[in-house]
Structure 1
Amino acid sequence: MPQRDFDTQRLARDATHSVSDVVELLDLLWEHTRDTVTTTSVSTAQLRLMYLVDRNDGLRMRVLGKLLRAAPPSVSRLCDRLQATGFLERQPCPESGREVTLRLTIGGKRHLEQIRAEREATLTWAIEAMPQEDRRALATGLAGLQSALTPVDRSGLG
């Protein structure tokens, strides 16, 4: 194997390990934030559901199941819990009486705003502590990673 290919693979492997370590650290921080921002706690799965509905207002329950890669009964239970907390509402689908669309309530949107603000404050603090050159490299690297991870159909619903 040529040296260049080996170096490229080693750098990719090292970057993968670094990103994985950062993701795990962020998971711990987010878990703490999720439970301390408001008096109403939601599970990680419920929060992920809320993010998807927030980004895709009027999302159909069937499509949500595909995005979550979860069985309909599991998705329905998640929705039941979020509806009980006042964070989610179900509405009949205008095009099909057999389907249900999902929307966050004002309380659900407010909850997400609080979580996002706390997370952003934590990240801002950490990034501001980095040398400027590292911040630039991070911004460039994250933009490249996001581009590589994002499918052409950004909605994921197509």
Structure 2
Amino acid sequence: MRETPAPPHPHGSPAAPDIGQVLELLEIAWERGRGTLSTAPLSAAQTRVMYIIEREPGINASTLGRRLSAAAPSVTRLCDRLQAAGFLRRTPRPQDRREMQLELTDSGTAHLHGIRHRRELALQQAMSRMAPDARHALATGLSALCDAVSEPTQSLGHRETA
């Protein structure tokens, strides 16, 4: 059964879907792929921590907290759970043994590899059912969205012009 998003809101542009419609489409896509795209047995937050540690091996908890915009107790709990699952290793930093560095274990790296592999296959299968121009539009749109997300944050609803 194909789900159709709600019609655009009256204040949305006729040339492009409004934000609500885009969010609804993303939610439908994620819901349909929930089984294939799952990060189980980890939560999304724990998986995000693992991605950060993979990119920055040896990161310490306070830097990790800044990357996550999370308080120290939350970061500690996330790391405790990952360590208990066998995905994270904490070791004293050689330069300062009071500070702990975080690294993925081989099991943690393998788990991330499995998540990526399942997601790549699912995306490849879905995109193979799309017309070439739709695949190109998707890639172009996602690239533009990533660029926009990485722009400095400004107050909501107000973009400064040069």
Q: TM-score, normalised by structure 2?
A: 0.74
Amino acid at match of 1:55: R
Identify the residue that residue 5 of structure 1 maps to in structure 2: none
Contact between 1:34 and 1:41, CA under 8 Å: does it hold in 2?
no
Identify the residue that residue 155 of structure 1 maps to in structure 2: none
Are residues 98 and 136 of structure 1, via their aligned partners in 2, closer, same or farther at CA, if it must alter by over 3 Å? Answer: same
Amino acid at match of 1:52: I
More helix by share: 1
* Larger deviation, residues 15-24 vs 79-88: 15-24
Contact between 2:53 and 2:104, CA under 8 Å: does it hold in 1?
yes
Superposed CA RMSD = 2.5
Are residues 15 and 105 of structure 1, via their aligned partners in 2, closer, same or farther at CA, if it must alter by over 3 Å? Answer: farther
Output one character per residue of 1:116-156: Cα deviation in whole Å (capped at 9) or x when no partner. 1101111111111111111111111111111121258xxxx
Distance 1:119 1:25 in 2: 16
Aligned residue pairs total: 141
Higher relative contact order structure (alpha carbons within 8 Å, sequence separation ≥ 6): 1
Contact between 2:93 and 2:100, CA under 8 Å: does it hold in 1?
yes
Identify the residue that residue 23 of structure 1 maps to in structure 2: 26
> What runs of 5+ residues in structure 2 fail to find an aligned partner?
1-11, 153-162
Runs of 4+ in 1 over 6 A off after TM superposition: none
Alignment of 1:89-100 (within 5 A): 89-100=89-100
Alignment pair present for 1:59 and 2:62: no
Distance 2:109 2:53 in 1: 10
Identify the residue that residue 114 of structure 2 maps to in structure 1: 114
Identity within the alignment, %: 41
Identify the residue that residue 74 of structure 2 maps to in structure 1: 74
Q: CA deviation at 1:71?
A: 1.4
Distance 1:62 1:12 in 2: 45
Alignment pair present for 1:10 and 2:49: no
Identify the residue that residue 150 of structure 2 maps to in structure 1: 150
